[in-house]
Amino acid sequence: MRPITVDPPAFFNRGPSPLARLAFFGILSLALLFADTRYRYLENVRQTVAIALYPLQRALEMPGAAFAYVSGYFGANRRMADENATLRQELVARAPATQGYVREQGENARLRALLDVRTQYAPTAIAVQVLYAGRDPFTQKVFVDKGTSAGVQAGAGVIDENGVVGQVTRVFPYMSEVTLLTDRDQAVPVQVERSGARSVLFGNGTGRSPELRFTSPSADLRVGDRLVTSGLDGTYPPGLAVARIVDVERDSGQMFARIFCKPLAGIDHSEFLLVLSQSSALPARPEEPGDADALKKGGRARGRRG
Amino acid sequence: MCKGRVVRVLPHVGSFGPASPEEILRPARPWFVLLSLLIGLLANLAPVSGVAMTWRPDFLALVLLYWCIQEPRYVGVGTAWVVGLLMDVGDATVFGQHALAYAVLAYGAEYFRRRVLRFPLWQQAVQVAALLVLCALIVLLVRFVGGAPPPGWRYLASPLVGALLWPLVSVLLQTPQRPSRSGSRR
């Protein structure tokens, strides 16, 4: 017989009190949070559960996709003809650049061989489609429809037809998570196209412009300059468009100038993206003098780079 | 054999409304509780974008809160914690963030459940709003400690929308427990 719900007597309580349970689970949650952010022990667990949830997620996304397909089917004919014409014109306009590119590549290879410079590794690309945007209001992420089964690697750069979009941060078997360059934890090494000055573009979060941090006020940067990837660090191939400078604040009292940029790629609304493989096999980073001294002293924690 | 005379203190607001005090309710089935939690999880994971993302309530927290208040024997702090872990994995955020928030939510529900059940539905919604805002604030706190920027007042829109949905969710989830019309006439 079920006990009465209103005011049960004490000897009908089962197990530890709710407060004891809360204390236990609270401590367990904090331990999990620590383990996850610090040591990433739980990535395997997350992968397993993500595989289990993947069919549910695709099933949930199907009604939206079906609705978009049906509504697009009925209005599409005239719009597709117009879009077709525009794309053909654009293709013709880009023909000189495309044809010149192959010639330039050959010439570049010959010149590099003459200078005995190591040949550049040609990146391969995987075309992906954006499934949906990330749900967390604190990070800027999108999810794309290819994962390890198609050869996507974590850390690969992602671009669309106008420029760099971000980086692959997590791969699942059939899906990947791409962090956009406007996310607070993202940084892209860039170079000003006009002057060759190198800097790093840091994301600033939702709704704020990414900025070039730690640039000296005397650097050769102007409003309207185009920023391209510099190719350092081996993540993005060099020469891809990233952003355009929109605001430069040079305050004589500050140590660094504040430079705000607008990304050139359609960060929020691109649908088709390209995942690039790692651009070059860089040699190992050489030991710094501080590391060598610390090793001699017997491996103190100060010499360890994270 | 007595199935248990369970008294629900909810006012009568019409034919589609919560049970009146003198109505005898059937007990809740465990499979229905699990099904409602699963549907809440799927509703939370459904991909939306833009304006809908700001205003979408945490359906899973709402359903969890309902069952913690009405059936504390089935759903308690432990169940809420496990459900929070599943939500964390589905959301691809830090592991343990929603688990902690839902565990605190379940404890709050257990602590305040008799007080909440004495009020009419719309006043329950106000108290539920306080609990849901607490849950959202715990999620926010965990992200703060991890180094996220403050999101602004719009972040509180989603628990408040959830509290507005509380009367509807309450009535919907209680429907299988109400006997059919012909049964109650007897």
- How many Å apart are CA A206 and CA A198, to the nearest integer? 25
- How many Å apart are CA A34 and CA B45, to the nearest integer? 24
Interchain contact B55–A (C-beta under 8 A): no
Cβ-Cβ contacts under 8 Å, B103 against chain A: 21-22, 25-26, 29
Q: CB distance A25–B46 less than 8 Å?
A: no
- How many Å apart are CA A266 and CA A222, to the nearest integer? 23
- How many Å apart are CA A205 and CA A131, to the nearest integer? 21
Superfamily of domain A125-276: Rod shape-determining protein MreC, domain 1 (2.40.10.340)
pLDDT (tens digit per residue) in A113-164: 777 655 555 567 888 888 888 777 778 889 899 998 988 988 899 988 888 9
Between residues B4 and B133, which one has the greater pLDDT?
Answer: B133
- The answer to whether position B117 is within a domain reads yes
- Crossing angle between the packed helical segments B97-117 and B59-70, to the nearest 10 degrees: 40
Contact B106, B98 (CB under 8 A): no
pLDDT recorded at residue B116? 87
Instruction: State the CB neighbour count (10 A cutoff) for residue A173.
Output: 13
pLDDT surpassing 50 at residue A300: no
Q: What is the mean pLDDT of residues A174-178?
A: 90
Maximum Cα–Cα distance for chain A, whole Å? 91
DSSP A234-281: GSS-TT-EEEEEEEEE--TTSSSEEEEEEESS-TTT--EEEEEPP---
pLDDT (tens digit per residue) in B152-167: 788 888 899 999 999 9
pLDDT (tens digit per residue) in B72-114: 888 889 999 999 988 887 776 788 889 999 999 999 998 998 8
The domain spans of chain A are 15-119, 125-276
Between residues B14 and B172, which one has the greater pLDDT?
Answer: B172
Sign of CA dihedral B164, B165, B170, B175: positive
Q: Give the mutation candidate from A7, A53, A135, A168 for the B interface (greatest B CB count, under 10 A).
A: A135
Q: What is the mean pLDDT of residues B167-179?
A: 87
Among A71-75, A223-227, B21-25, which range has the highest average pLDDT?
Answer: A223-227
Between residues A194 and A63, which one has the greater pLDDT?
Answer: A194
Distance in Å, alpha carbon of B85 to nearest chain A alpha carbon: 9
pLDDT (tens digit per residue) in B47-57: 766 667 778 88
Instruction: State the CB neighbour count (10 A cutoff) for residue B127.
Output: 17
Helical residues (DSSP H) of A116-159, grouped into ranges: none
pLDDT surpassing 70 at residue B6: no
DSSP count for chain B of H helices, then E strands: 9, 0
- The answer to whether position B12 is within a domain reads no
- The answer to whether position B186 is within a domain reads no
Give the residues across from A247 on adjacent strands.
A260
Mean pLDDT of chain B: 82
pLDDT surpassing 50 at residue A16: yes
- Scanning B96-115 for CB atoms below 8 A from A yields 96-97, 99-100, 103-104, 106-107, 110-111
Give me B62's structure tokens.
């709402």
pLDDT recorded at residue A297? 54
Q: Which domain holds residue B61?
A: 30-176
Choose among B44, B181, B149, B55: nearest CA to A183: B149
Give the residues across from A157 on adjacent strands.
A167
Q: Which residues contact B105 (CB under 8 A, 6 or more apart)?
A: B61, B64, B65, B68, B80, B131, B132, B134, B135
pLDDT surpassing 90 at residue B61: yes
Interchain contact B151–A (C-beta under 8 A): yes
Model confidence band, residue A3 (pLDDT cutoffs 50, 70, 90) = low
Q: Reduced to 3 states, what is the DSSP secondary structure of residue B6?
A: coil
A292 phi/psi in degrees, rounded to 5? -65, -40
pLDDT surpassing 80 at residue A200: yes
CA distances, A17 to each of A22, A29, B78 (Å): 9, 18, 11
Interchain contact B76–A (C-beta under 8 A): yes
pLDDT recorded at residue A13? 62
| ipTM rounded to 2 decimals | 0.76
**Domain count of the fold of chain B:** 1
Between residues A183 and A138, which one has the greater pLDDT?
Answer: A183
pLDDT surpassing 60 at residue A292: no
Q: Which residues contact B2 (CB under 8 A, 6 or more apart)?
A: A1
pLDDT recorded at residue A299? 45
Q: What is the mean pLDDT of residues A259-282?
A: 82
pLDDT surpassing 50 at residue B2: no
pLDDT surpassing 70 at residue B181: no
Q: CB distance B97–A21 less than 8 Å?
A: no
pLDDT surpassing 60 at residue B184: no
